A and B are shown apart, each in its own frame.
Chain A
């Protein structure tokens, strides 16, 4: 209980800080004076609050998506950017943009989801064909597969002059979030809750196919549900703010070091820690590069890969 309070306190603190920093002055005094400052209130409602929500939603859903993937692939190092999921979603978006430019965001998101599903399925198929699978080879295959898909995306983006657009999908950047441009992300909250209700099934699936079937559960269906949740989340995050690398890998691993591997117990923790982590990255990006901003995704990439290396060299020797 104590831990839960501490975590909540940290999250709330970060969220408040996120609301208060920025180019225009939004302070308590301006908001809660008897004569509230009209402009500060507008900035808060149109820009700051949406940004805070977007950051938290992206962090939460990506963290939980990573956890689900790790259960399904039975590997600690799998997450949307180490399994080709994110890169496939980008390719899907590009395809939608090129072939059906008039498609509404929701339609593009669906195309991206289908691509993300296909890419992740391809990754799982490739894994099956790799002999003597060491746990460490799995993310390497995923990263390279992502690279291959990415080079296809680059090829077409370069031809049709869309490289900048593609870059926006691959680097998580929250500076463009405004009211009316991020609401799709609320759907990820629903997906996270869905994952929570199915948590025990994912835990069982993590024990393997035979074990799951022996308990009378439908293994392929659980895997399909998990992949659907992961692909939807990835596609939505890519469409609205851009991908945040390694988040889904770092957060569940750190949580599992403390909590163990029961999904029902760890999902809330992963959700809170994911939100806090991205909030922190976003805040750092806004403070360090002042008056310019550094995208939160870039900060997350640096911190994430350092933590990934730490996890690898601390645990990897035992896993390999």
Chain B
């Protein structure tokens, strides 16, 4: 990271990050091709596209969430958002029955899931922020326990579904980095793009939100409305990333905090793309190093969780919770 010198402009840091990300993507695509190119390139391209999308969704949702909560330790994943999505998905399958679900257009299903997710998370988090106003520690612990609750409920519902049906479900719904469905990928890309276009109008307001609730209101931001909008966008992005690869707990925390450190600015126009690029680098480089260098057949997620958890604890040790 060449951004240690104070004179480096945010724009230049972004360029460097972009080049690094592109380099890793090229490496991942082109090194070690042992088969027909017209098979290998699309196959790997899909992996890279997934990593990019997931990285973008996780990074942007985390930074926005931290802006709204005014805290650098809370992330949507730590607050149980990911598992909420898994729970909604499991319940849908349970109530509709797997045969119906199998016959449904995946796009329709995904759309329904996203809508339920946004509504539900708005309710839940509205209630939660009201309950624990100003008490970050309480909010954090409640979020973590909520995550555990959603996870237990999902596994409970999965057990109530017949075991044979459940196996079918697992294959179909709990995706991995390696092979998300083509249609889902396309749909996620469209959704993410839509969210980004909507989000552009909120960027300025978000920059003001960093100053805190009172200051933002004094400066003329419609606080309640902005926060509700941002949280809705966060919910959609979480739905996208969870649908593609399942829950990732600490990736967001990791990339958001690296982005703050590298960019040294509060402007979302710089921080958001930086965080997204760092996430893409982490995922693609992680996959590349694991697959080609160490010859391991392991998801980079496990490694990211391990490192991210350490960072989280280190942050708590450094009194990072305001």
B-contacting residues of A (Cβ < 8 Å)? 77, 126, 129-132, 134, 136-137, 139-141, 143-145, 147-148, 151-152, 154-155, 158-159, 171, 245-246, 288-289, 292, 294-295, 298-299, 301-302, 304-306, 308-309, 312-313, 316-317, 320
Contacts and interface: CB of A to CB of B under 8 A. Distances in A.
Contact of B160 (A136, A294, A309, A320): A294
Given A289-B159, A294-B159, 9 more contacts: A131-B319, A137-B316, A139-B141, A143-B144, A151-B305, A154-B302, A305-B149, A313-B142, A316-B141
Contact of B249 (A77, A147, A246): A147
A137 B141 CA distance: 7
A144 B144 CA distance: 9
B43 interface: no
A309 B137 contact: no
23 contacts: A130-B316, A132-B319, A137-B140, A148-B309, A148-B313, A158-B298, A159-B297, A171-B155, A245-B152, A295-B159, A298-B156, A301-B148, A301-B155, A301-B156, A302-B149, A302-B153, A304-B152, A305-B145, A305-B146, A308-B148, A312-B138, A313-B142, A316-B142
B252 to A, nearest CB: 14
B317 interface: yes
Taking chain A's interface residues, is the majority helix, strand, or loop, or is none over half, making it mixed? Answer: helix
* Chain B contact residues: helix, strand, loop or mixed: helix
B296 interface: yes
B141 A305 contact: no
Interface of B: 131-132, 135, 137-138, 140-142, 144-146, 148-149, 151-153, 155-156, 159-160, 162-163, 249, 296-298, 302-303, 305-306, 309-310, 312-313, 316-317, 319, 321
Contacts of A294: 156, 159-160
B145 A309 contact: yes
Nearest to A288: B160
A94 to B, nearest CB: 14
A309 B152 CA distance: 14
Choose among A132, A288, A305 the residue with the greatest number of B CB atoms under 10 Å from its CB: A305
B155 A126 contact: no
B322 to A, nearest CB: 10
A140 B317 contact: no
A320 B139 CA distance: 10
Contacts of B132: 313, 316-317
B286 to A, nearest CB: 13
Nearest to B319: A131
A305 B148 contact: yes
B138 A155 contact: no
Given A151-B302, A301-B148, A129 B163 contact: no
B305 A245 contact: no
Contacts of B153: 302
A245 B131 CA distance: 25
Contacts of A137: 137, 140-141, 316, 321
Contacts of A126: 313, 317
Given A301-B148, A316-B138, A147 B309 contact: yes
A299 to B, nearest CB: 7
A306 to B, nearest CB: 6
B148 A140 contact: no
Contacts of B317: 126, 129-131
B145 A308 contact: yes
A186 B159 CA distance: 30
5 closest residue pairs by CB, A with B: A301-B152, A305-B149, A148-B309, A136-B137, A294-B159
B312 A159 contact: no
A317 B138 CA distance: 7
Contacts of A316: 132, 135, 138, 141-142
